[in-house]
Structure 1
Amino acid sequence: MTEKKTINFYLANGEYGCFSNFSRDPVYLKDKRWPTSEHYFQAQKFAGTEHEEAVRMASKPMEAANMGRERTRPLRPDWEAVKDDIMREAVMAKFVQHEKLTSILLGTGDAELVEHTANDRYWADGGDGSGLNMLGKILMEVREAIQQGKSKYENGHFI
Protein backbone atom coordinates (compact mmCIF):
# COMPACT_ATOMS: atom_id res chain seq x y z
CA MET A 1 0.00 0.00 0.00
CA THR A 2 1.39 3.39 -0.95
CA GLU A 3 1.38 6.25 1.49
CA LYS A 4 -0.74 9.27 0.57
CA LYS A 5 1.33 12.18 -0.69
CA THR A 6 1.34 15.39 1.37
CA ILE A 7 1.89 18.80 -0.18
CA ASN A 8 2.90 21.55 2.22
CA PHE A 9 2.40 25.19 1.27
CA TYR A 10 2.58 28.55 2.98
CA LEU A 11 4.30 31.45 1.23
CA ALA A 12 2.63 32.96 -1.83
CA ASN A 13 5.98 32.95 -3.66
CA GLY A 14 6.83 29.36 -2.73
CA GLU A 15 6.02 26.11 -4.47
CA TYR A 16 2.23 25.78 -4.53
CA GLY A 17 2.11 29.43 -3.50
CA CYS A 18 -1.17 29.81 -5.36
CA PHE A 19 -2.76 27.89 -2.48
CA SER A 20 -2.02 30.86 -0.21
CA ASN A 21 -4.76 33.45 0.15
CA PHE A 22 -2.01 36.04 -0.33
CA SER A 23 -1.32 34.91 -3.92
CA ARG A 24 -1.99 37.76 -6.35
CA ASP A 25 -4.91 36.11 -8.12
CA PRO A 26 -7.97 38.38 -8.10
CA VAL A 27 -11.42 37.01 -7.41
CA TYR A 28 -14.76 38.33 -8.60
CA LEU A 29 -17.43 38.05 -5.92
CA LYS A 30 -20.38 40.22 -4.87
CA ASP A 31 -20.13 42.02 -8.24
CA LYS A 32 -16.66 43.33 -7.35
CA ARG A 33 -13.04 42.55 -8.11
CA TRP A 34 -11.01 41.64 -5.02
CA PRO A 35 -7.20 41.79 -5.42
CA THR A 36 -6.76 38.48 -3.54
CA SER A 37 -8.92 35.93 -1.76
CA GLU A 38 -7.42 37.32 1.48
CA HIS A 39 -8.91 40.74 0.70
CA TYR A 40 -12.34 39.16 0.20
CA PHE A 41 -12.13 36.96 3.29
CA GLN A 42 -11.00 39.76 5.62
CA ALA A 43 -13.51 42.24 4.20
CA GLN A 44 -16.40 39.88 4.91
CA LYS A 45 -15.76 40.37 8.62
CA PHE A 46 -17.36 43.77 8.01
CA ALA A 47 -19.87 42.92 5.25
CA GLY A 48 -22.32 45.70 4.53
CA THR A 49 -20.25 48.41 6.20
CA GLU A 50 -17.79 51.00 4.92
CA HIS A 51 -15.01 48.84 6.40
CA GLU A 52 -15.71 46.12 3.81
CA GLU A 53 -14.76 48.47 0.98
CA ALA A 54 -11.77 49.86 2.89
CA VAL A 55 -10.34 46.34 3.21
CA ARG A 56 -11.05 45.63 -0.47
CA MET A 57 -9.00 48.69 -1.39
CA ALA A 58 -5.97 47.69 0.73
CA SER A 59 -2.81 47.83 -1.39
CA LYS A 60 -1.42 44.44 -0.26
CA PRO A 61 -2.87 41.21 1.12
CA MET A 62 -0.97 41.65 4.40
CA GLU A 63 -2.53 45.10 4.79
CA ALA A 64 -5.98 43.55 4.24
CA ALA A 65 -5.16 40.83 6.78
CA ASN A 66 -4.03 43.36 9.36
CA MET A 67 -7.14 45.48 8.81
CA GLY A 68 -9.30 42.40 9.27
CA ARG A 69 -7.52 41.48 12.50
CA GLU A 70 -7.82 44.93 14.04
CA ARG A 71 -10.53 45.03 16.63
CA THR A 72 -11.14 48.76 16.19
CA ARG A 73 -13.64 47.86 13.44
CA PRO A 74 -16.97 46.25 14.39
CA LEU A 75 -16.68 42.50 13.67
CA ARG A 76 -19.92 41.02 12.41
CA PRO A 77 -21.60 39.10 15.25
CA ASP A 78 -21.94 35.82 13.30
CA TRP A 79 -18.30 35.72 12.17
CA GLU A 80 -17.28 32.52 13.95
CA ALA A 81 -20.32 30.72 12.50
CA VAL A 82 -19.76 31.88 8.89
CA LYS A 83 -15.98 32.18 8.46
CA ASP A 84 -15.42 28.66 7.10
CA ASP A 85 -18.17 29.08 4.49
CA ILE A 86 -16.78 32.47 3.46
CA MET A 87 -13.38 30.85 3.01
CA ARG A 88 -14.98 28.08 0.90
CA GLU A 89 -16.68 30.71 -1.27
CA ALA A 90 -13.42 32.65 -1.77
CA VAL A 91 -11.27 29.60 -2.48
CA MET A 92 -13.79 28.12 -4.92
CA ALA A 93 -14.07 31.43 -6.79
CA LYS A 94 -10.29 31.78 -7.00
CA PHE A 95 -9.70 28.30 -8.37
CA VAL A 96 -12.53 28.24 -10.91
CA GLN A 97 -11.88 31.78 -12.16
CA HIS A 98 -8.26 31.04 -13.06
CA GLU A 99 -7.75 28.11 -15.44
CA LYS A 100 -4.07 27.78 -14.50
CA LEU A 101 -4.98 27.51 -10.81
CA THR A 102 -7.65 24.92 -11.56
CA SER A 103 -5.00 22.86 -13.34
CA ILE A 104 -2.51 23.15 -10.47
CA LEU A 105 -5.12 22.18 -7.87
CA LEU A 106 -6.40 19.22 -9.90
CA GLY A 107 -2.79 18.21 -10.57
CA THR A 108 -2.36 17.46 -6.88
CA GLY A 109 -4.49 14.34 -7.35
CA ASP A 110 -5.52 13.01 -3.97
CA ALA A 111 -2.58 14.47 -2.06
CA GLU A 112 -3.22 15.91 1.37
CA LEU A 113 -2.83 19.69 1.22
CA VAL A 114 -1.37 21.27 4.33
CA GLU A 115 -0.80 24.92 5.13
CA HIS A 116 2.40 24.40 7.08
CA THR A 117 3.28 27.15 9.55
CA ALA A 118 3.61 27.68 13.27
CA ASN A 119 1.89 31.05 12.79
CA ASP A 120 -1.64 29.62 12.69
CA ARG A 121 -3.33 26.73 14.47
CA TYR A 122 -6.75 27.17 12.87
CA TRP A 123 -6.19 27.71 9.14
CA ALA A 124 -2.80 25.94 9.18
CA ASP A 125 -1.18 22.96 10.89
CA GLY A 126 0.44 24.91 13.71
CA GLY A 127 3.86 23.95 12.35
CA ASP A 128 3.83 20.59 14.12
CA GLY A 129 0.67 19.00 12.75
CA SER A 130 -1.44 19.81 15.80
CA GLY A 131 -3.37 22.62 14.07
CA LEU A 132 -6.71 22.19 12.31
CA ASN A 133 -5.40 22.95 8.77
CA MET A 134 -8.78 24.34 7.75
CA LEU A 135 -7.39 26.06 4.64
CA GLY A 136 -5.84 22.79 3.49
CA LYS A 137 -9.12 20.96 4.15
CA ILE A 138 -11.10 23.57 2.24
CA LEU A 139 -8.68 23.36 -0.70
CA MET A 140 -9.21 19.58 -0.77
CA GLU A 141 -13.01 20.08 -0.62
CA VAL A 142 -12.80 22.55 -3.51
CA ARG A 143 -10.60 20.14 -5.49
CA GLU A 144 -13.18 17.39 -5.04
CA ALA A 145 -16.07 19.71 -5.96
CA ILE A 146 -14.29 20.81 -9.16
CA GLN A 147 -13.63 17.15 -10.02
CA GLN A 148 -17.40 16.61 -9.67
CA GLY A 149 -18.13 19.47 -12.06
CA LYS A 150 -19.21 21.99 -9.45
CA SER A 151 -18.05 25.58 -9.82
CA LYS A 152 -19.62 27.65 -7.06
CA TYR A 153 -20.12 27.66 -3.31
CA GLU A 154 -23.39 29.13 -2.16
CA ASN A 155 -25.64 28.79 0.88
CA GLY A 156 -23.50 26.10 2.46
CA HIS A 157 -23.17 23.90 -0.64
CA PHE A 158 -20.94 23.39 -3.65
CA ILE A 159 -23.09 23.66 -6.77
Structure 2
Amino acid sequence: MTIYFYKVDDPYGCFSNFSPHCIHLLGQDWATVEHYYQAQKFVGTKDEALILEIASAKTPMQAATLGRDRTRHIRPDWESLKTEIMREAVLIKFLTHLDIQSILLSTGDRLLVEDSQIDYYWGCGKDKTGQNHLGKILMSVRQEIRQRL
Protein backbone atom coordinates (compact mmCIF):
# COMPACT_ATOMS: atom_id res chain seq x y z
CA MET A 1 0.00 0.00 0.00
CA THR A 2 1.38 3.37 -1.02
CA ILE A 3 1.66 6.11 1.60
CA TYR A 4 0.83 9.55 0.25
CA PHE A 5 1.89 12.57 2.29
CA TYR A 6 1.83 16.32 1.78
CA LYS A 7 0.29 18.58 4.43
CA VAL A 8 1.95 18.80 7.84
CA ASP A 9 -1.35 18.21 9.68
CA ASP A 10 -2.25 15.09 7.69
CA PRO A 11 -1.16 11.55 8.56
CA TYR A 12 2.56 11.22 7.82
CA GLY A 13 2.82 15.01 7.73
CA CYS A 14 6.19 14.70 9.45
CA PHE A 15 7.55 13.60 6.07
CA SER A 16 6.92 17.10 4.71
CA ASN A 17 9.83 19.54 4.56
CA PHE A 18 7.50 22.03 6.22
CA SER A 19 7.12 19.89 9.35
CA PRO A 20 8.28 21.71 12.51
CA HIS A 21 11.42 19.63 13.05
CA CYS A 22 14.60 21.66 13.32
CA ILE A 23 17.92 20.46 11.98
CA HIS A 24 21.51 21.46 12.60
CA LEU A 25 23.70 21.63 9.50
CA LEU A 26 26.74 23.65 8.47
CA GLY A 27 27.16 24.88 12.04
CA GLN A 28 23.72 26.49 12.08
CA ASP A 29 20.25 25.65 13.37
CA TRP A 30 17.46 25.63 10.79
CA ALA A 31 13.78 25.70 11.77
CA THR A 32 12.83 23.20 9.07
CA VAL A 33 14.32 21.26 6.19
CA GLU A 34 12.63 23.80 3.89
CA HIS A 35 14.53 26.69 5.49
CA TYR A 36 17.84 24.90 4.97
CA TYR A 37 17.08 23.74 1.44
CA GLN A 38 15.95 27.15 0.19
CA ALA A 39 18.95 28.91 1.75
CA GLN A 40 21.43 26.60 0.04
CA LYS A 41 20.38 27.95 -3.36
CA PHE A 42 22.29 31.16 -2.64
CA VAL A 43 25.61 29.91 -1.27
CA GLY A 44 28.44 31.70 -3.05
CA THR A 45 26.17 34.01 -5.07
CA LYS A 46 25.75 37.76 -5.08
CA ASP A 47 22.45 37.13 -3.29
CA GLU A 48 24.16 35.22 -0.46
CA ALA A 49 22.80 37.75 2.07
CA LEU A 50 19.40 36.18 1.45
CA ILE A 51 20.55 33.09 3.38
CA LEU A 52 20.20 34.93 6.68
CA GLU A 53 16.76 36.20 5.72
CA ILE A 54 15.62 32.68 4.81
CA ALA A 55 17.11 31.23 8.01
CA SER A 56 15.13 33.72 10.09
CA ALA A 57 11.87 33.38 8.16
CA LYS A 58 9.00 32.82 10.59
CA THR A 59 7.45 29.98 8.59
CA PRO A 60 8.64 27.40 6.06
CA MET A 61 6.27 28.98 3.51
CA GLN A 62 8.03 32.32 3.96
CA ALA A 63 11.38 30.57 3.52
CA ALA A 64 10.10 28.86 0.37
CA THR A 65 8.76 32.11 -1.06
CA LEU A 66 12.12 33.83 -0.51
CA GLY A 67 14.00 30.91 -2.03
CA ARG A 68 11.74 30.73 -5.08
CA ASP A 69 12.13 34.41 -5.96
CA ARG A 70 13.05 34.27 -9.66
CA THR A 71 14.67 37.71 -9.52
CA ARG A 72 17.47 36.31 -7.33
CA HIS A 73 20.62 34.60 -8.54
CA ILE A 74 20.98 30.99 -7.49
CA ARG A 75 24.22 29.08 -7.52
CA PRO A 76 25.19 27.75 -10.96
CA ASP A 77 25.60 24.18 -9.70
CA TRP A 78 22.15 24.10 -8.05
CA GLU A 79 20.48 21.65 -10.42
CA SER A 80 23.27 19.13 -10.00
CA LEU A 81 23.37 19.46 -6.18
CA LYS A 82 19.77 20.04 -5.08
CA THR A 83 18.81 16.39 -4.63
CA GLU A 84 21.97 15.66 -2.62
CA ILE A 85 21.37 18.76 -0.47
CA MET A 86 17.78 17.68 0.18
CA ARG A 87 18.82 14.14 1.09
CA GLU A 88 21.42 15.35 3.58
CA ALA A 89 18.83 17.57 5.31
CA VAL A 90 16.16 14.85 5.39
CA LEU A 91 18.64 12.33 6.81
CA ILE A 92 19.67 14.73 9.58
CA LYS A 93 16.01 15.42 10.37
CA PHE A 94 15.22 11.74 10.88
CA LEU A 95 18.44 11.02 12.77
CA THR A 96 17.76 13.97 15.09
CA HIS A 97 14.10 13.36 15.87
CA LEU A 98 13.59 9.80 17.09
CA ASP A 99 9.80 10.18 17.30
CA ILE A 100 9.47 10.73 13.57
CA GLN A 101 12.28 8.28 12.83
CA SER A 102 10.01 5.69 14.40
CA ILE A 103 7.15 6.74 12.11
CA LEU A 104 9.40 6.49 9.06
CA LEU A 105 10.63 3.04 10.05
CA SER A 106 7.06 1.90 10.75
CA THR A 107 6.27 2.33 7.04
CA GLY A 108 8.16 -0.89 6.33
CA ASP A 109 8.87 -1.21 2.64
CA ARG A 110 5.85 0.74 1.47
CA LEU A 111 6.17 3.25 -1.34
CA LEU A 112 6.29 6.85 -0.04
CA VAL A 113 4.90 9.52 -2.36
CA GLU A 114 4.76 13.28 -1.90
CA ASP A 115 1.23 14.02 -3.05
CA SER A 116 1.92 17.49 -4.43
CA GLN A 117 -0.54 18.47 -7.13
CA ILE A 118 1.88 20.99 -8.64
CA ASP A 119 5.36 19.57 -8.10
CA TYR A 120 6.43 17.01 -10.67
CA TYR A 121 10.04 16.89 -9.48
CA TRP A 122 9.79 16.41 -5.70
CA GLY A 123 6.24 15.06 -5.80
CA CYS A 124 3.91 13.05 -7.99
CA GLY A 125 2.04 15.96 -9.58
CA LYS A 126 -1.66 16.18 -10.29
CA ASP A 127 -1.71 13.18 -12.63
CA LYS A 128 0.64 11.06 -10.46
CA THR A 129 3.34 10.94 -13.17
CA GLY A 130 5.87 13.09 -11.29
CA GLN A 131 9.36 11.94 -10.34
CA ASN A 132 8.66 11.84 -6.57
CA HIS A 133 12.24 12.63 -5.58
CA LEU A 134 11.23 13.50 -2.00
CA GLY A 135 9.53 10.13 -1.60
CA LYS A 136 12.59 8.40 -3.04
CA ILE A 137 14.85 10.28 -0.61
CA LEU A 138 12.65 9.28 2.33
CA MET A 139 12.77 5.62 1.28
CA SER A 140 16.55 5.84 0.91
CA VAL A 141 16.88 7.48 4.33
CA ARG A 142 14.61 4.80 5.81
CA GLN A 143 16.95 2.12 4.44
CA GLU A 144 20.07 3.90 5.67
CA ILE A 145 18.66 4.28 9.18
CA ARG A 146 17.73 0.58 9.23
CA GLN A 147 21.33 -0.31 8.32
CA ARG A 148 22.65 1.91 11.12
CA LEU A 149 20.46 0.28 13.78
Amino acid at match of 2:10: G
Identity %: 52
Q: Count residues with an aligned counterpart.
A: 146
* Equivalent-residue separation in structure 1 for 2:95 and 2:143 (angstroms): 12
* Equivalent-residue separation in structure 1 for 2:59 and 2:94 (angstroms): 20
Amino acid at match of 2:127: D
Q: Which residue in the other structure is 2:64 paired with?
A: 65
For structure 2, the 5+ residue unaligned runs are: none
* Equivalent-residue separation in structure 2 for 1:111 and 1:134 (angstroms): 15
Question: Given that residues 51 and 73 in structure 1 are in contact (C-alpha distance below 8 angstroms), is that contact kept between their aligned partners in structure 2?
Answer: no
Q: Deviations over 1:12-53 (max 9, x none)?
A: 111100000000110111111100000000000012421111
* Equivalent-residue separation in structure 2 for 1:43 and 1:125 (angstroms): 24
Q: Deviations over 1:55-89 (max 9, x none)?
A: 11111000000111002222001000000000001
Q: Which residue in the other structure is 1:146 paired with?
A: 145
Map 1:117-136 → 2, pairs under 5 A: 117-136=116-135
* Equivalent-residue separation in structure 2 for 1:37 and 1:117 (angstroms): 17
* Equivalent-residue separation in structure 2 for 1:128 and 1:84 (angstroms): 22
Amino acid at match of 2:110: A
CA RMSD of aligned residues (A): 1.1
Q: Which residue in the other structure is 1:155 paired with?
A: none
* Equivalent-residue separation in structure 1 for 2:64 and 2:89 (angstroms): 14
For structure 1, the 5+ residue unaligned runs are: 151-159
Report runs of 4+ in structure 1 exceeding 4 Å deviation. Answer: none
Q: Which residue in the other structure is 1:105 paired with?
A: 104
With structure 2 as the length reference, what TM-score do the two structures score? 0.95
Question: Given that residues 114 and 125 in structure 1 are in contact (C-alpha distance below 8 angstroms), is that contact kept between their aligned partners in structure 2?
Answer: yes
Are 2:13 and 1:14 aligned?
no
With structure 1 as the length reference, what TM-score do the two structures score? 0.89
Q: Secondary structure at the match of 1:119?
A: coil
In the alignment, which of 26, 30, 45 is matched to residue 41 of structure 2?
Answer: 45
* Equivalent-residue separation in structure 1 for 2:132 and 2:126 (angstroms): 10
Question: Given that residues 42 and 64 in structure 1 are in contact (C-alpha distance below 8 angstroms), is that contact kept between their aligned partners in structure 2?
Answer: yes
Amino acid at match of 2:90: V
